[in-house]
Structure 1
Amino acid sequence: MFDSPLSASAYEVLQVPPDCDEETLRKAYRLRLRQTHPDTGGDSAQFIQVQRAWELVGTAAARQSYDRGHGFGETPAPEWSGWRPTQTETRDTRPRARSFGQPGGWRRERYLTLIREWAGRGVTLTDPYDPALVRSAPHHIRRLLADALAEEATARIVGDLGMGYTVWHDVDASGRDARPDVKIDHIVLGPSGLYGLLSEDFGGAIKMRRGEIIGDAVSGAPIGDLLARMRTAARAARVKFSGAIVVLPDDDVVQVIDEIGKVRGLPVAVVAQSGLSAVLRRGITGARSMGGNEVFDVRTRLQQTVRFA
C-alpha cells in the first residue's frame, strides 16, 4: 500500500494537505477512523488504509521519513529507489529459472517517453522517477510505471522457482501485424504446466463477474484479452497452454488465490503476488501437468517462435 505510483498518498487517505500541522493531522485521523469503521457502516478496506496511513505519518520521525521518500519534503532521500529499475543482484548464487526477454521493458520505455513529453520539450529531467514528478503525472503515465513494476515483481517471483522453470517476458502476441502493446507479460513453463500470465496494478480493489475482472479502475476485458493473446502464441508455436493467471498486488484482492474455473475452455486463476509461487508449483485445478520430455519439446517450440515486444 502507498508504494504503487497509482496509490493514494497517506495524506490523501487522511484527507489533509501534506503541509498540515500535527494537530490537524491527528484530528483528521480520528475522524477518518469513525467514518470508515465497519461497525458504523464504513468500509473495512478503507479502515485498514487509514490505519496504515497513520503508521506512516503519525509521528514526527515517521512523517519526516515518509515525506522525504515520497517527494513531499524539500530534499528527497537519495537512497530511495522504489520506482527505479531493479539492479541485478550478483551475490545470490542459487539456481534460478531460465529467463528470456525484459520484464516490464516495453512499459518502462513507454513511460520514459511519455513522462519526458509531458514534462515539456527541451526540458532535461534529472530523475524521471522522482516521487514528486511521478505523483503529479497524468494517470495513464503513472499506470505504465505501475504495470512495469508489477511485471518486474512477477519476474522476481518466477525466477526464484529454480532451474526447473523457464519464463519468457514481454512476448509479442499481435500475430502478423506487429504491435508492441499487444503482448503477453509472461509465459511460464514448468512441471505444473504452461501458463500465460498477466501482471497488473489497477490501483484499487477488483471484483469478479462472469469470469472477468471488474472494478472502478478496470477498463476493457483483461482476462478475455489475455486468453486471446495466448491463443495467438499457441497457434504460432503449436503448443497448448495449461491455464491463465492474472497476478495482482496483495492489497487489491480479497483472496490470495482465486481459481475462477474455466473461461473459454481454459482454467483461470486470479492470484495475489504472495500466492503466485504456490500456484506455479502446484498448478491450477483442472490444468494438465507436463512430463520431462513434453516440457523439453514445448520449450524448444517456444524458443523457435517467440518474439519479444
Structure 2
Amino acid sequence: MSDSPVSESPYEALGVPSSASEDELRRAYRRLLRETHPDTGGDPTRFIAVQRAWELIGTPAARADYDRGHTYSPGGSERVSWAPPPRASSAPSSTRPGARSYGHPGGWRRERFLRLLQEWVGRGVAIDDPYDPALVRRAPRELRRILADALAEEATARLVSELGIGYTVWHDVATGEPEDKLDHVVLGPTGLFAILSEDFGGVVRVRRGEVDGVSVEGDRPLHALASRARVIARAARIKFGGLLLVVPDDELEEPYVVAGSSRGALMAVVRRSVLPALLRDGLPGARTVGGTELFDLRTRLQTVITFV
C-alpha cells in the first residue's frame, strides 16, 4: 500500500468506513485474512494489502497517527509530504553536468489540483495546507489522481535530469488542450522519446497493446500518448523512437513491457526506477540517433515546442 494520494486507503482495504469502531476494524481484518489467505485460494496481493492496512490503523495509536496524516512503520512515523519540492531539487544531485531541461514538470497539474480543491472545499473557505494528507484523502478520487500524476511527473523529472549533458528534456509540452500535453520529451544518443508519467494507484498490465487494470478505469493512456506524440512529430517533421508510459515500481510486475508500436515508434510501460537505465542503454529495437542528427532534432524541437 503506497503513500500515493490515489492509492487505496487502509479503511478501503478493510472495507470499513473511517468512522468504524475498533471492534468493527478487528472483525473486518480477521474476516479478510481468512478470505484472502493464499493457502485457502485467496488473492496474495489482497492478502498483503490487508496486512499492510492493519499495520496502519490496527492499533489506536497507529490509527490516530494515520488520521493525522502520518504513515506508520515499526521504526516510527513519518509525515507524508505532497507539497511541491523546492525548485532547486530538480537540479542534478551529482557534480557532473545534468541534462538540459526546459519547462516546469508537474506545474500544470499542481495548479489544476489547487483550483479544483478550492472549488470542492468551497469558494471563500480558507485552506491552511492544501497538501495536508488528511484533507487530500477526503477529496474525490479525480482530484487525488491529478495530484498523484503531478507527483509522478516530478519524480520522473528528477531522474531524467541526471542523465547527463548529452540529453535534452522538455516538460509539460503542449499538443493542443492543456490536459492533452506530453509530460516529457527526452532526446539523447539512444533516441527520441515521448513520455507520460502516471500513477494509477494500483497494479496494471498490458493487454492487446493497451494498459489494463481496475485502477485504469477505462482510460487508454498508450493511445493518448501516441496521439500526442504524433502532433509534435508532424510539427517538427521528426520521428520518435520510443513512446514510454512510466508508472511507480509497485504498479508493474516486470521492469518494462513492450506494448507494440505506433508509426515506427516502440511503445512500452516502464517502472520508474528502470527509466534512467533504459534511456541510457536504449530501448531494444528502438531507433537511435547520433552525430549531426542529434543537433538537427534538437533544433527542430526547440523551434516547435511550447509549454502548457
What TM-score do you get using the length of structure 2 for normalisation?
A: 0.88
- Which ranges of structure 2 fall in alignment gaps of 5 or more residues? none
Change (3 A) 1:164 1:60: farther
Instruction: Quote the offset at 1:53 in angstroms.
Output: 2.4
| Secondary structure, counterpart of 2:187 in structure 1 | strand
1:196 aligns with 2:198: no
2:9 maps to a residue whose letter is S
Question: 1:15 offset after TM fit, Å?
Answer: 3.1
For the structure 1 residues 164 and 81, does the alpha-carbon distance in structure 2 shift closer, same or farther, using more than 3 Å as the test? farther
Q: Evaluate the alpha carbon distance shift between residue 91 and residue 185 of structure 1 in structure 2; reply closer, same or farther with a 3 A threshold.
A: closer
Aligned-residue RMSD, C-alpha: 2.5
Q: 1:16-55 CA distances to partner (integer Å, 9 max, x unpaired)?
A: 4546666654554333222212232221221221232233
User: Relative to structure 2, which stretch is displaced further, 193-202 or 25-34?
Assistant: 25-34
1:223 is the counterpart of 2:225: no
- Please give the per-residue CA displacement for 1:114-157, whole angstroms capped at 9, x wherever unaligned: 11011111112111112122111122211111111111111111
In the alignment, structure 1 residue 214 sits paired with structure 2 residue 216: no
Q: Check whether the contact 1:187–1:194 (CA below 8 A) recurs between aligned residues.
A: yes
Are 2:154 and 1:152 equivalent residues in the alignment?
Answer: yes
Residue 110 (structure 2) aligns with:
108
Which residue does 1:261 correspond to in 2? 260
2: CA distance, partners of 1:284 / 1:292: 19
Distance verdict in 2 for CA 1:257–1:64, change over 3 Å: same
Give CA deviations for 1:45-76 in whole Å, capped at 9, x if unaligned: 2122123223334566654543333499xxxx
Contact 2:243 2:265 in 1 (8 A): yes
What is the CA–CA distance in structure 2 between the aligned matches of 1:54 and 1:190, rounded to whole Å?
46
Q: After superposition, give the CA deviation of every residue in 1:267-286 in whole Å (9 maximum; x if it has no partner).
A: 11101112112211222121
| Aligned residue in 1 for 2:79 | 80
Task: Write the mapping of 1:139-178 to structure 2, written as runs, cut at 5 A.
Answer: 139-174=141-176
Q: Can you give the 5+ residue segments of structure 1 that lack an aligned partner in the other structure? A: none
Q: Tell me the equivalent position of 1:274.
A: 273
Pick which of 50-59 and 165-174 moved more: 50-59
Contact 1:248 1:273 in 2 (8 A): yes
- How far apart, in 1, do the equivalents of 2:263 and 2:212 lie? 18
Between the aligned partners of 1:26 and 1:84, the Cα distance in structure 2 is 33
Deviations 1:87-121 (A, max 9, x none): 23379353322111011111111111111011111
Structure 1 residues 277, 71: CA separation in 2 closer, same or farther (over 3 Å shift)? closer
2:190 and 2:92 map into 1 onto residues whose CA distance is 29
Does the 8 Å contact 1:97/1:165 carry over to 2? Answer: yes
Does structure 2 retain, via aligned residues, the 8 Å contact 1:259–1:285? no
Deviation string 1:150-203 (CA, Å, 9 cap, x unpaired) is: 1111111111222222110110112xxxx2122111101112100000111122
For 1:61 and 1:96, the matched residues in 2 are separated by: 44
Q: Tell me the residue number matched to 2:49.
A: 49
1:92 maps to 93
Q: TM-score, normalised by structure 1?
A: 0.88
